[in-house]
Chains A and B, each alone.
Chain A
Amino acid sequence: GAVVSQHPSWVICKSGTSVKIECRSLDFQATTMFWYRQFPKQSLMLMATSNEGSKATYEQGVEKDKFLINHASLTLSTLTVTSAHPEDSSFYICSARPGGATEAFFGQGTRLTVV
């Protein structure tokens, strides 16, 4: 089956620093990638949708200057949390969808803790 890999699985950073999370589709080309945020005991909230080679589309309420998304190739998308604050601590999950498909495949998630 299709595999999506996220790196790192967990990261701790100091307040004010930036953190980059990578999402790779290992055995397929992902024309579309999605970034979600999951708070404890809550659902996955879609943050943004990125299509290869174009700017990401952010959901309402998500600060695009804070959560920078780059989808430079068909197998890699990155999410950079800039000037992280403790309230940004969360579980971030990416998913990738092959071209022409309706099903997306999920990465294992990244737990970010900002101290």
Chain B
Amino acid sequence: AQSVSQHNHHVILSEAASLELGCNYSYGGTVNLFWYVQYPGQHLQLLLKYFSGDPLVKGIKGFEAEFIKSKFSFNLRKPSVQWSDTAEYFCAVLNTGTASKLTFGTGTRLQVTL
């Protein structure tokens, strides 16, 4: 069975600080990788996704993530966070097999202070 680990449960940063949230997955086959964000009181929104090709993907709002196949990782980064980035971030993995389903990590709560 596939699983997704997000090691940072709660991260507090000052505005303009750099961000990196870890995501590791376990699955031996081909996967599609996603980062979702959930702002307070809102639904999940897709930040970025990786299907194939360039392992460095750029998403909305200045976020990017790098797929490192050898490390089974898909870490999320942003060079300079803003207060409005305060939210819950979820990494998710979709296996591309016949029983494809999206598995989520436990989430990381990011709090950006002014």
Contacts and interface: CB of A to CB of B under 8 A. Distances in A.
A44 B22 CA distance: 18
Interface stretch (B12-20, B42-50, B62-70, B73-81): B42-50
A103 B46 contact: yes
A104 B107 contact: no
Given A34-B101, A43-B106, A106 B51 contact: no
Given A34-B101, A42-B106, A102 B94 contact: yes
Interface in B63-109: 90, 94, 96, 100-107, 109
Contacts of A44: 44, 90, 104
A77 interface: no
A106 B43 contact: yes
B26 interface: no
A44 to B, nearest CB: 4
A29 interface: no
Interface residues on B, range: 20 to 34
Majority DSSP secondary structure for residues of B touching A: strand
B8 interface: no
A1 to B, nearest CB: 9
A107 B45 CA distance: 10
Contacts of A13: none
Contacts of A109: 43
Nearest to B10: A41
Contact of B103 (A4, A42, A46, A104): A46
A52 B61 CA distance: 35
Nearest to B88: A41
Interface string A23-48: 00000000000101000011111100
Nearest to B51: A102
Interface in B35-64: 36, 42-46, 49, 51
B101 A46 contact: yes
Contacts of B104: 36, 43-45
Interface of A: 4, 34, 36, 41-46, 49, 93, 95, 102-109
Interface of B: 4, 9, 32, 34, 36, 42-46, 49, 51, 90, 94, 96, 100-107, 109
